[in-house]
Structure formats: structure tokens, C-alpha cells
Amino acid sequence: MENLLTFSLSDNPVQINCELNLKKAYPTSRAREDFEEKLKRFLCSDVDNCIVYELDGDRLRYKTEHLIPNKMNGRTPLLLIFGNPASCSITSGMFFSPEKDGRENRFWEHLLGKSGIKDLSFEKGVATSVRNEKRLHRLMTGEYESDFRVGLCVFISMPSSAGGPWGGVAGIRKLLGKHVFDQVAKEERERILEEAARFLQPNGFGVTFQKDAWNGLSSSGKYKLERAKAGRLKSTIKGHSEIPLFGAPPTRLLGPCRRVLQGFLQGADR
């Protein structure tokens, strides 16, 4: 049976190519018309959306973020799993690219850096393109200070604005409609489960930062924000009882997110 989503390698080591099969997703003319009307509003909501997405007949093409280093270095594998990409990060070519040139995104310095994963943020004034090139090199080669070999991916591949009515995973759910979104999420889950099984064996673990990612990948327990903020979302990855999975609060809740992530990483060190 043909999938809703197909994935293929990109020339960019931080991204993969994606296609959504619109004929399968919206088999009736009415459903397709409703989607394309919403798509127009979605694309107009963020200038980067118009760059990221291409509507080609029955295919909606786009790129998503995916950075899994192949180089082995003896460190514990750590897979950080986010909700979906920000469209501006896709056009910039790196996870959590800054909104303004020459400024750092707080994720790298204030979340990862202060959680013990250092040397992935840079001083003020460095151009975004240079900053992202250096960061990519360090992530792929392991040339940063950490006990972990870090990989990054997203649960929902479709990018959107970081905020606003069409922002985040909620914006993708609004665009696709609940029924199609749920179907897409099932296929996305299989993509992540396959990658996690490969990257995290034999002694690694994953950390989610978003509700759908946790619910889709956890073998037990539904997501609750209060449990996430207390560092109490602990499970294993579906179908892989040997791989631990932890749930952190969203990165926008910087303080609680950092505290919980620090606890997970320190616990892994022991």
C-alpha cells in the first residue's frame, strides 16, 4: 500500500526530502479543495513557508530537519526529538537558527550549553551562515564537549512558523485536518522508530520535547505537561523495551526544560 509520506536523502546533511501524497490524503474533490484553500493561508502566514513548500500536482514537496551523526566516538548516543521544524530553520539550514543574523538561538547556549553539551554555541556577531556551518561540523565530527553523541530529529516532518495561528505542530494539524494528521503521525512514528533503533543501540536513550512526539513514541503513559515539568515522564521507546525514553517540557519553557534535561543527562552519567 502506498504511503502518505515518502522520504529521500538530501544533499544537505541536516535535511531530508519529503513528499505528501495529496491524492491519497484527500481522495474527494471537496476535501482537496478545502485543503488547498487552507494551504494558501498557511503559506501566506510565513515568508519562509513559501520557500520551503512546493505544490506539484498531487505532491506537496518540502524538506525537514534530520541530523544523525554516523561517526562513532564511544560516547553515549542521545537522540533529541522535537515537535516539528521552524520554517526559518529549514531555509537557514540548521536546527534552531537565530531569527536575526549575528545572534544565537537560546537553545544552543542556554539549554544545551548549560546542560553540559558545550561548544555548540558561538559568540555574538558571527553570521548565521558561518555559525551554522561550524555547528554542523562539530555535530557531525563530535568536536564538542559532552559525554553524549548527539543526534537531532523531529516527530512531525512538516515545517511551520514558530508561532502564530499556523505555528508549530498545532499549525500542521490545522492545515491537514485531524484525520489526515493522525495518519501522517503514524507514518512519522515509524520513521523515527527505525532511526532510533539504529542510532541508540546499544546503550543510548531519547528525549522528547513535545506532546505528540511523546505520545507517538512512548511505550506507556500519556503526556501531561505537569509531569514533564517535574521530570516524571520516563518510559521506553515503543517496540524497543531496551531503549529508555524521557519527556522534557517544550523548549519555549526554557527554565523547566533545562532543569529537567539536566536531570536526565546527569542520571545517564551515573
pLDDT tens, residue by residue, 233-267: 999 999 999 999 999 999 999 999 999 999 999 98
Q: Judge contact between 187 and 4, C-beta under 8 A.
A: yes
- Indicate whether 15 belongs to any domain: no
Cell of 218: 512512548
Q: Taking 50 as the threshold, does the pLDDT of residue 171 lie above it?
A: yes
In a domain, 21, yes or no: no
Extract the C-alpha cell encoding 21.
501524497
Q: Is 60 within a domain? A: no
DSSP state letters, 187-198: HHHHHHHHHHHH
Asked whether 65 and 14 are in contact (CB, 8 A), the reply is yes
* Domain containing residue 194: CATH number: 3.40.470.10
**Global pTM?**
0.96
Q: What is the DSSP letter of 249?
A: P
Q: How many CB atoms lie within 10 A of CB 126?
A: 17
Considering the domain boundaries, does residue 38 fall inside one?
no
**Is 265 contained in some domain?**
yes
244 belongs to a structural domain: yes
Other Cβ atoms closer than 10 A to 84: 24
**E strands within the chain?**
5-9, 15-21, 54-56, 59-67, 76-82, 148-154, 205-208, 233-237, 240-247
Read off the pLDDT of residues 175-228 as tens digits, 9 standing for 90 and up. Answer: 999 999 999 999 999 999 999 999 999 899 999 999 999 999 999 989 999 999
Q: Which domain holds residue 151?
A: 66-155+190-269
- The pLDDT score that the predictor gives to residue 102 is 72
Please report which helix (H) or strand (E) contains residue 121, including its range.
none
Q: What is the pLDDT of residue 146?
A: 96
CB neighbours of residue 99 within 10 Å? 12
Please compute the mean of the pLDDT values over residues 91-95 and round it to a whole number.
94
Residue 238 forms part of a structural domain: yes
Number of domains in the chain: 1
Per-residue cell: 155: 516527530
Query: Quick check: is 107 in a domain?
Result: yes
